[in-house]
Amino acid sequence: MTPPLDIVFLGLSITSSWGNGHATTYRGLVRELTRLGHRVLFLERDVPWYSENRDLPRPPHGQTELYSGLEELKDRFSSRVANADLVVVGSYVPQASRSGVGRSRRAAGSSLSTTSIRP
């Protein structure tokens, strides 16, 4: 059996499916990854259009954390990201890709962009 992985998602939204198709996909991915025993952290920028329309404010699978901007993202989560086995940077998350916060030291500096795995 494969040992559990520490996985970090930097995604558009998991707490609100309002106006986007990302949340339902992320919810399914996180649910199944945690079912397989992996530790999953989902980082979502707290923006008004999603915070006012949350249909799942506390997702039941994995850990979800909100952040207000790039500085808070770096201050609170850079260590978790750096030590993750896998970092997934979703589309429409420019602050993560430009800042370098989406790089994992533990995974030899690699990350996966969801734009590269479109069907």
Give the span between the Cα atoms of 47 and 12, in whole angstroms.
10
Give the span between the Cα atoms of 30 and 106, in whole angstroms.
20
pTM: 0.83
Mean pLDDT of 53-81: 95
For residue 54, pLDDT beyond 60 = yes
Cα–Cα distances (Å) from 82 to 22, 27, 48, 79, 106, in that order, read 24, 23, 28, 5, 6
Q: 32: closest CA among 15, 7, 55?
A: 7
In a domain, 98, yes or no: no
For residue 117, pLDDT beyond 50 = no
In a domain, 110, yes or no: yes
Domain tally, the chain: 1
Domain span at 82: 6-92+103-117
In a domain, 20, yes or no: yes
Residue 72: band (very low, low, confident or very high) from pLDDT cuts 50, 70, 90: very high
Residue 110: band (very low, low, confident or very high) from pLDDT cuts 50, 70, 90: very low
Determine the pLDDT at residue 10. Answer: 95
In a domain, 78, yes or no: yes
Determine the pLDDT at residue 94. Answer: 75
CATH code of the domain in which 28 resides: 3.40.50
In a domain, 58, yes or no: yes
In a domain, 57, yes or no: yes
For residue 52, pLDDT beyond 70 = yes
Percent of the chain with pLDDT over 70: 78
For residue 6, pLDDT beyond 60 = yes
Work out the number of other CB atoms within 10 angstroms of the CB of residue 15: 22
